[in-house]
């Protein structure tokens, strides 16, 4: 089934709020990361515009090798 959406969330007409962005982030990662890891990284992601050196990001973003 397909449908057309004129005002999709995240567009300039319907911007996503912080809760929407976090919900999408959590939803995209919930099958890949434990909840604790998602919660731990969110504060750093919200501060991205204040980080002068991207290498300062927590190692929590590093891809984990498959078990």
Q: What is the pLDDT of residues 41-59, one digit of tens each?
A: 898 889 888 888 877 677 7
Instruction: Return d(Cα 62, Cα 67) in angstroms, integer.
Output: 15
| pTM to 2 decimal places | 0.70
- Reported residue count of the chain is 67
Question: Structural domain boundaries of the chain?
Answer: 15-49
Q: Is the pLDDT of residue 63 over 80?
A: no
Q: Is the pLDDT of residue 64 over 80?
A: no
Judge contact between 41 and 34, C-beta under 8 A: no
Judge contact between 28 and 22, C-beta under 8 A: no
């Amino acid at each position: 089934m397909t449908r057309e959406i004129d005002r999709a969330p995240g567009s300039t007409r319907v911007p996503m709020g912080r809760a929407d962005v976090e919900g999408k982030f959590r939803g995209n990662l919930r099958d890949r990361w434990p909840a604790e890891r998602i919660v731990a990284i969110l504060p750093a992601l919200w501060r991205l515009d204040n980080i002068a050196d991207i290498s300062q990001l927590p190692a929590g973003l590093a891809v984990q090798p498959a078990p």
